Amino acid sequence: MMKDLIFATNNTHKLDELRQILAGRYNVLSLNDIDCHEDIPETAPDIEGNAVMKAQWVHEHYGIDCFSDDTGLEVDALNGEPGVRSARYATDGHDSEANIDKLLGKLQGVTERSARFRTVIALIRDGELHTFRGEVEGEILTERHGMGGFGYDSVFRPVEGDGRTFAQMSAEEKNAISHRGRAVARLCEFLNP
């Protein structure tokens, strides 16, 4: 029988991707699938702490193996901001357009625009915690380019690539070099050796 594994998210795009990769090995359940509609605490000072906090919370409440992910954009000229606050940089909600406006405003006139996305995945399997990381280096442009992706994609140009932003790439192109793609690959190597 296939083992249940909770992915502490309701993001259908992320779920589809993981279900595809782990098909036949794990039955990947979302928070909706387990009827969890609570606000899981995410109050740690860094993305690693938040990923671990979410996975531990779900494991404690549901007793099923579980993993969660957390991502942040770190801009060097802003001392690593927005970092752990990437989703709620400008407002309390997840308003990506307002977040980008705030970021571009803070970087007005700044020429050193290096940045990176970092993802941490925390897995609790058989009661043990494992973490997996992924990073991608790039720079923040001065204006938006491209319509694809989400979040800060339209202003992030990865160093590896041909000059396009993440928002100008297909999902496959982005996943092949992205922070989350790399962290997910490491998780899957571990689960699916």
List of residues 6+ apart from 88 with CB closer than 8 A: 94
Pick 71 or 168: Cβ nearer ligand IMP: 71
| Cα separation values, 152 from 10, 65, 116, 144, 182, Å | 20, 31, 11, 9, 18
Pick 22 or 71: Cβ nearer ligand IMP: 71
Phi, psi at residue 83, to the nearest 5°?
50, -125
List interacting residues with ligand IMP (CB under 6 A): 70-71, 73, 86-87, 94, 96, 99, 117, 149-153, 166, 178, 180
DSSP 52-103: HHHHHHHHHHH-S-EEEEEEEEEEGGGTTEEETTSTTSSSSS--HHHHHHHH
Pick 22 or 178: Cβ nearer ligand IMP: 178
The distance of closest approach from Cβ of residue 51 to ligand IMP in the complex, given in angstroms and rounded to an integer, is 8
List of residues 6+ apart from 49 with CB closer than 8 A: none
Q: Which of 65, 69, 70, 153 is catalytic?
A: 70
The distance of closest approach from Cβ of residue 24 to ligand IMP in the complex, given in angstroms and rounded to an integer, is 26
Pick 4 or 135: Cβ nearer ligand IMP: 135
Residue 35 annotated in active site: no
The distance of closest approach from Cβ of residue 166 to ligand IMP in the complex, given in angstroms and rounded to an integer, is 6
The distance of closest approach from Cβ of residue 126 to ligand IMP in the complex, given in angstroms and rounded to an integer, is 25
Contact yes or no for 26/123 (Cβ under 8 A): no
2/90 Cα distance (integer angstroms): 42
Catalytic residues: 70
